[in-house]
Amino acid sequence: MLPTAELHIHIEGTLEPEMLVRLAARNGVKLPTTDIDELRARYRFTDLQSFLDLYYANLPVLRTEQDFYDLTSAYLARAAQAGVRRAEIFFDPQTHLRNGVPLEAVFAGLSGALDDARDISTDLILCFLRDLGADAAEETFRAALPFRDRFIGVGLDSAEVGHPPSLFREVYRMAAAEGLHRVAHAGEEGGPDYVWEALDVLGVERIDHGIRAMEDAKLVRRLREEQVPLTVCPLSNVALRVVGELADHVLPAMLDEGLLVCVNSDDPAYFGGYVDDNFAALRSELGLDDQQLATLARNSFDACFAPAEQKARWK
Ligand code: ES4
Ligand code: ZN
């Protein structure tokens, strides 16, 4: 197993159908079906929005601190098996607030599970839902400030097109002033202009996805010269039909261009696998060799926000 860091993982996207059914029963939440096979059959998508619709529809089963603890513990156990030594975990507080769960319960469950994970280095990144707009993001950020020491950065996710990074200039300025790291989803369904904006307007240190940056040669040069990390999620891109099939993926071209790309699972319960499954698919379906896979793993440690002495140990 190749040791790696996982830098693009939505904890809500690790909700396997079995856990969904267990939490629904525990909390008295009604599901359309409790048949695992039927639930899994619904995990099929035509685009990002069709995935997000199901992802948000499932999340009301998360109600208590214990639910967040159990979800996160299950991910960390599976990630350790996948060779993950370092995980920087996204969470979507706005979803849970909308579902009536207080931030205290979300943070307590997540950070409780991180504290109990002995074999894996972890931190949290708070994501704003871009389709809820900038005012909601700022309000969420202020509400999260009492928990400032529980997360190391902010991100931007959910429906991309029509919600460009530049709308979020102010909340990213507030996050920078707090000394937080900044990342953003860009260039998944949105074009290269979204990647430019994330860099120039939000000042992000990493781009999540970024595969459509390959359509803009000037942007590729910028990403290479500044060695901006790109957290690519191959199985996610296939599941959401951002690419036709894995054999068509631009990841090998990104490596050839000298970009700092790494491999991640995004929403593994929904997209057909964890980070080890992504690595295996890159080998079997894209023909990446040991050296290329090792480069991807090494890049992930370069790209992570852990202290330098920890990074040196992993590499
Ligand atoms: C997401 Cl794949 C993806 N893209 C954008 N937002 C997300 N939230 C969870 N998964
Ligand atoms: Zn994502």
**pLDDT tens digit string along 116-161?**
998 999 999 999 999 999 999 999 999 999 999 999 999 999 999 9
Residue 150 is predicted with a pLDDT of 98
Q: State the Cα–Cα distance between residues 43 and 239, nearest whole angstrom.
A: 9
What are the sequence ranges of the domains in the chain? 4-303
Residue 217 is predicted with a pLDDT of 98
Determine whether the shortest distance from the Cβ of 70 to ligand 1 is under 6 A: no
pLDDT single digits (tens) 172-183: 999 999 999 999
Burial of 302 (0-12, 13-18, 19+ CB in 10 A): middle
Residue 1 is predicted with a pLDDT of 85
- Tell me which residue of 229, 232, 145, 221 sits closest to 182, measured CA to CA: 229
Burial of 262 (0-12, 13-18, 19+ CB in 10 A): buried
pLDDT single digits (tens) 284-312: 999 999 999 999 999 999 999 999 999 99
Looking from the CA of residue 188, the nearest atom of ligand 1 is 4
pLDDT of 57 above 90: yes
Determine whether the shortest distance from the Cβ of 236 to ligand 1 is under 6 A: yes
- Residue 179, Ramachandran bin (φ over 0: left; ψ between -120 and 50: alpha; else beta): left
pLDDT of 17 above 90: yes
Stronger pLDDT, 312 or 280, i.e. the higher one: 280
pLDDT single digits (tens) 185-203: 999 999 999 999 999 999 9
Amino acid symbol at 302: D
Report CA(257)–ligand 2 centroid distance (Å). Answer: 23
pLDDT single digits (tens) 72-111: 999 999 999 999 999 999 999 999 999 999 999 999 999 9
Ligand lying closest to the C-alpha of residue 94:
1
Residue 225 is predicted with a pLDDT of 98
Which two three-digit tokens encode residue 225? Answer: 């010269």
**What average pLDDT does this structure show over 30-53?**
97
pLDDT single digits (tens) 230-263: 999 999 999 999 999 999 999 999 999 999 999 9
Residue 102 is predicted with a pLDDT of 98
Determine whether the shortest distance from the Cβ of 235 to ligand 1 is under 6 A: no
CA 137, chain centre distance (Å): 18
> Is 163 annotated in some ligand binding site?
no
Residue 315 is predicted with a pLDDT of 80
Yes or no: say if 192 and 219 are a contact pair by the CB < 8 Å rule. yes
Burial of 44 (0-12, 13-18, 19+ CB in 10 A): exposed
> Is 8 annotated in some ligand binding site?
yes
Residue 247 is predicted with a pLDDT of 97
Tell which one of 10, 163, 207 to mutate to probe ligand 1, the residue whose CB is within 8 A of the most ligand atoms: 10
> Is 267 annotated in some ligand binding site?
yes
**What average pLDDT does this structure show over 197-225?**
98
Superfamily of structural domain 4-303: Metal-dependent hydrolases (3.20.20.140)
